[in-house]
Amino acid sequence: MVSSRYSPHVGGVETHVQEVARRIASRGLDLTVLTTDLTGELPPLEHEGPLTVRRFPARPRKSDLYISPSLIRHIREEGYDLVHVQGVNNFLPPMALMAAQRSGIPTVATFHGGGHSSRVRRMVRGTQWRVVRPLLLRTNALVAVCHFEVDTWAGRIGLEPERIRLIRNGAEPLPVGSSPPEVSGSPLVCSVGRLDRLKGHHRLIKAMPALLDLAPDAHLAVIGRGDFEHELRRLVARLQIEHAVTFMSFDSTQREALGALVRSSDVVALMSDFEAHPVAVMEAVALERKVVVADTSGLSELAAEGLAVAVPTDASPHTLAEVLADVARRPDPVPPVLPTWDDCVDELVDLYEEILSGVSTGSGAH
């Protein structure tokens, strides 16, 4: 299983890979996660129970391109029975698919979204999809995590939607620690996601002055790490709302503390420009939290299913504040019926067995 990043890094794809990989290995499959280490500080070989994790150097260190010749060489030389690439949004996935396919190894690819905040990266997306298209069409199976992703990628690569397997992320509640969270508010709004312009934290910060007019004790917790933090802090200072905004981050060993904060929140918000089936939002839904999302991409799908309230990305700060205040006043939602990570693994293992038994040959032929 190839993933550009893996624990201890935190993110939606990282969580997905960790949750499914551990469960698949615990069922007796000989599974190795191949990932990168841009720092040179993480162990190159690690065992998490029956799961093996191998980390390879990648470059450039200050970018998310993830070029790793040693990882690609390992795929060619190790003799794996199947290679499953998780995510297709940088240089590593096409290189891994090409190496496996040239070695005659069956391949699976899960898309995991495709948004990016860089204007240059967005400009070359069309070229990127044309380059990766033949590799995706040669996979034994393509996997999407939501209906939006099925339709989007079917159009991008010219494939019937029915030939893309829909396997949703698991949606299980975060573990909740016993220690009270460090911040509180009435309402308390949590904006969860890496600190990147794509994730839309700035929209919630801009809405805070209007929300404070409606609810003077309101507080916004911005949860995540990233290069956009400096700009977000400057925006907070410019709006003079330092008293009402707290920046926080949690690593993979602090999920109970994150769970306690999310559980105490009145609203969990994700005003991102682009998402597929965001794990952070689904964890909040599983904790029976009220959720506000941007009316775009896979987030709109969550709203259509009644799991969130959607707000247009171009809504005014005042409009967004009114929605946040209104949602915060609503009663907690009825516990929804959601897929689990075990459900996700059941479908993945079935897919692997189809491919390895020769039932599935060619993208989507299952």
Q: How far apart are CA 278 and CA 87, in angstroms?
A: 13
Average pLDDT over residues 335-354: 96
Q: How far apart are CA 65 and CA 59, in angstroms?
A: 7
Q: Is the pLDDT at 125 greater than 60, yes or no?
A: no
Q: Is the pLDDT at 366 greater than 80, yes or no?
A: no
Average pLDDT over residues 181-195: 96
Q: In what order do the strands lie in the sheet with 267-270?
A: 245-248, 219-223, 188-192, 267-270, 291-294, 309-311
Q: Which residues contact 230 (CB under 8 A, 6 or more apart)?
A: none
Domain 2-170+341-356 has CATH 3.90.420.10: no
pLDDT in tens, 64-96: 789 999 999 999 999 999 999 999 988 999 999
Tokens 């979204």 map to which residue?
113
Average pLDDT over residues 120-137: 71
In the structure, how many helices (H) and strands (E) does the chain have?
Answer: 13, 14
E-assigned strands of the chain? Answer: 2-3, 32-37, 45-48, 51-57, 83-86, 107-110, 141-144, 165-166, 188-192, 219-223, 245-248, 267-270, 291-294, 309-311
C-beta separation of 344 from 168 below 8 A:
yes
pLDDT (0 to 100) of residue 114: 56
Average pLDDT over residues 135-142: 97
Domain parsing of the chain, residue ranges: 2-170+341-356, 188-329
Average pLDDT over residues 189-217: 97
pLDDT (0 to 100) of residue 115: 52
pLDDT (0 to 100) of residue 121: 45
Closest CA to 37 of 20, 54, 22: 54
Q: Is the pLDDT at 124 greater than 50, yes or no?
A: no
Share of the chain above pLDDT 90, in %: 86
Omega cis (within 30) before 8: yes
Q: Is the pLDDT at 346 greater than 70, yes or no?
A: yes
> What would the CATH number be for the domain defined by 188-329?
3.40.50.2000
Name the token pair of 241.
């709302």
pLDDT (0 to 100) of residue 151: 95
Q: How far apart are CA 131 and CA 133, in angstroms?
A: 6
Q: Is the pLDDT at 108 greater than 50, yes or no?
A: yes
The answer to whether 2-170+341-356 and 188-329 have equal CATH topology is: yes
DSSP percent split of the chain into helix, strand, coil, nearest 5? 40, 15, 40
- What's the pTM value of the predicted model, to 2 decimals? 0.89
Name the token pair of 1.
């299983």
Determine the 3-state secondary structure of 167 from DSSP. coil
Determine the 3-state secondary structure of 219 from DSSP. strand
pLDDT (0 to 100) of residue 130: 79
pLDDT in tens, 254-290: 999 999 999 999 999 999 999 999 999 999 999 999 9
pLDDT (0 to 100) of residue 252: 85
pLDDT in tens, 319-329: 999 999 999 99
Average pLDDT over residues 312-324: 98
Instruction: Give the number of other Cβ atoms within 10 Å of residue 50's Cβ.
Output: 14
Give the Å distances, CA to CA, from 33 to 54, 94, 248.
6, 17, 29
Omega cis (within 30) before 60: yes
pLDDT (0 to 100) of residue 126: 60
Share of the chain above pLDDT 70, in %: 94
